[in-house]
Amino acid sequence: MDMDRRKRGAWRNAVLAVLLTAGTLTAAAPGAHADGARTETPVVSTSPVAGVRETVVRVKAPLPESAGPRPAACDWLSYLRYRAGDGPAAAADADRILVAQPGILEGAGAFDSVARNVVTAAAARGRHIEFWALDRRSNCLEDRTGIASGDQHTAVDYYYRGEQVGGRTFNGYAGNGQLGWMARLGIEQTVRDEYDLLTSELPDQSVRERKVLCGGHSLGGVVTGYFATADFDGNPATTADAGHRQCAGYFALDTTVSTSLADLSGSIPDDTNLPDVGLGYGVVQAGLDSGVLPRALSAPVLLNPETMTLLAIAGLGALEAPGAEADLPRYLPANLNIEATNRFLFSRDTPTFVTGSPGVKDFRLTNDAVLGALLDDNSVPLAFLQSSVGFFDGGPVADKNFPVANGSSQQPGLFGIDYKAIPDRAHGPLYTWRNYDRVGAADDPGYRSADGTPFTAAGKEVTDLRELARSLAEQPLDFTEQYFPTKLVTDLELAGSPQVKKLLAHPEGITAHPTLTVLAGDGLLAGRVPDDLHPLIAPGYQHLDVLTAAPVQNDGLPEVVSSGLARFAETLD
């Protein structure tokens, strides 16, 4: 057994143990302390970024009884804590603590690469930084047991065939009728959860005000804006509890720290089941309370709990046997959601989408090519799911002109700005994946579109596919989010309503501290952020790359986002 397999085996056992003891859908985390209010469990990782210690922390923070019946795990808040292995054990003794809110359909695991890179970059500068990647409360509903088995077939059998893992059986995905308690998980509860977590973990308010940097990715920037303006004791005249008094600075990752969704058009898919907020706050809330409106955001294809789980299952294959021929498309059971999602993601044009032929099962793909096809910016059509992890290899490719044609006026926007490609020989060669750092190498075929445009170049590839797979499949807290609270978006869409405006008790809070705004050069906000924010641009990055980019880039330089965050943290001394 080689060292990689030993490390993966240790990781599988450790993650499965964390999940089985710390609670998923049906059990609350047992107390590691006498009062049973907090647990902290080491996370075993196969990351090549050495010198970083990761733990999963759970803090008990019960919802009010008025929230209604809910799984016991949902009365806990969770986050991934990253710190230097030789740094102080107590967070209060660190030089800085970066606390990050996730974006839409995103969990704490998505921050794994940037968190490790920030801690490492700071350590190289003689600083001890902690990075806390927050999970939203609703992520308590996710069952990671099948993923934690570390085996792709075992995971599929667990989620689809009733097979047990560690004595546990999958209970299925929660329906709207089981999510009544989520009807009140809006912006007020979200920022309250962050405040309660910070005050529990760092009881000394002066430590929070001097050392904590508050921020987030995508929608997390808007959540941070509301946090900065919030009042938490009900008395705006007393400001020690104000949101901006819990932070020394702010950071925004492909977003802005604001209280508006205007900058994030394209980050929220248009085909989800969001209600028409023109109905007004009271009507929308009544619909959520009654269950007439969906309490979790989803869509008929791609964006729902099942397909979010499938991304992690694909990540498992890319970790286990990246260069082996994938059997996942054939091993998965046939159902309408999987078939429709496969057609949406893997259709060359509209006729192919309509007929389903040729489909993904008709192509020979390696496991890493499957994952690349699901998340690379030259393949997946939705910009908010894109990363820059390389390109197809091993056979001829063609333009992917569905759901929008390459070079059309529809770009940029929801579908991104990069030309899309797709394998062109069904039942033909084994299509492999050229990782980000091999694009532009001497043996690179240099694939081009039918109009002569190169699909990609070395300067536009920034994320290591294997590390993306590890973040998807190895973390005890999910990379993706299966149950995003609809109320969080409807609240923000109804920002002008009295019920939401009252939350902006300290509007000056947004400008109370320095802010680092980081933008993906090819991302959702490219060219749309005011110059007076003086954004740090990450060239060639897509929306997810600001979280997933490799520590060393193709130009030989350190990764831009993490280096910028480490420098920014130091300037606030």
Q: Tell me the average confidence (pLDDT) per consecutive run of 10 residues in the chain, 573 residues long.
A: 50 47 33 68 94 98 94 97 96 98 96 98 96 97 96 98 97 96 97 98 97 97 98 95 98 95 62 59 95 92 91 97 97 94 94 96 98 96 91 97 83 74 97 98 97 96 98 96 96 94 96 96 82 92 97 96 97 86
How high is the pLDDT of residue 186?
Answer: 97
Say whether 42 sits in a helix, a strand or coil: strand
DSSP secondary structure code for residue 263 in this structure: G
Burial class (CB in 10 A: 0-12, 13-18, 19+), 527: exposed
**Both structure tokens of 484:** 């995003």
**Comparing C-alpha atoms, which of 224, 52, 220 is closest to residue 122?**
52
Evaluated on CA atoms 545, 403, 405, 439, the torsion sign reads positive
Query: How far is the C-alpha of 93 from the C-alpha of 373, rounded, in Å?
Result: 43
Measured in degrees and rounded to the nearest 5, phi and psi for residue 234 equal: 80, 5
The amino acid sitting at 359 is G
Query: How far is the C-alpha of 492 from the C-alpha of 490, rounded, in Å?
Result: 5
**Comparing C-alpha atoms, which of 514, 559, 570 is closest to residue 228?**
514
Residue 56 and residue 107 in contact, taking contact as beta carbons nearer than 8 Å: no
Q: Which residues have C-beta within 8 Å of that of residue 286, sequence separation ≥ 6? A: 292
**Comparing C-alpha atoms, which of 493, 502, 495 is closest to residue 277?**
493
How high is the pLDDT of residue 26?
Answer: 28
Measured in degrees and rounded to the nearest 5, phi and psi for residue 487 equal: -60, -30
How high is the pLDDT of residue 23?
Answer: 37
Strand order in the sheet with 536-538: 38-42, 52-60, 76-84, 129-134, 96-101, 212-217, 249-253, 515-520, 536-538
Which top CATH class is 3-143+181-265+486-571?
Answer: alpha beta
Partners of residue 99 on adjacent β-strands? 132, 214
Query: How far is the C-alpha of 163 from the C-alpha of 155, rounded, in Å?
Result: 9
Q: Which residue has the tokens 């008025």?
A: 66
- Asked whether the whole model's pTM tops 0.85, one would answer yes
How high is the pLDDT of residue 476?
Answer: 96
Query: How far is the C-alpha of 77 from the C-alpha of 90, rounded, in Å?
Result: 19
The amino acid sitting at 298 is S
**Both structure tokens of 99:** 């606390």
Burial class (CB in 10 A: 0-12, 13-18, 19+), 459: middle
CATH 3.40.50.1820 placement within the chain: 3-143+181-265+486-571
How high is the pLDDT of residue 409?
Answer: 64
Give CA separation, 71 vs 31, 143, 446, 483, in Å.
Answer: 17, 12, 52, 14
